[in-house]
Amino acid sequence: MAYIIGPDCEKCGSCEPECENQAISEGEETYIIDPEKCTECLGNYETPRCFEVCPVGAPGPDKMRKESREQLLAKWRKLHPGKEPKLFEKKA
């Protein structure tokens, strides 16, 4: 599932440069994540970078947008044509 930024966002901007899919942008009240570009960092990192760098933990899974690993990888490949994703062992 894509990530979403919750109301705790302080608009510090630490998340935006971390997103290699360019899914994060500044909104009026908080930063926002484009769900069509968010792959939970699958293909780029082992875990979602936006959550890791956020000082208040504002980003989290968007429970309204469930996507399988295969769907997230397909989205990544569409965003990065001609490249291969970095794949990490799935943690239990």
Residue 62 lies in a domain: yes
Mean pLDDT of 26-55: 96
| Per-residue 3-state assignment (H helix, E strand, C coil) for the chain | CCEEECCCCCCCCCCHHHCCCCCEEECCCCEEECCCCCCCCCECCCCCHHHHHCCCCCEEECCCCCCCHHHHHHHHHHHCCCCCCECCCCCC
> Could you tell me the CATH number of the domain that includes residue 10?
3.30.70.20
Residue 10 lies in a domain: yes
pLDDT value for 91: 60
pLDDT at position 1 is 83
What residue numbers bound the domain in which 24 lies? Answer: 3-79
Q: pLDDT exceeding 70 applies to what percent of the chain? A: 97
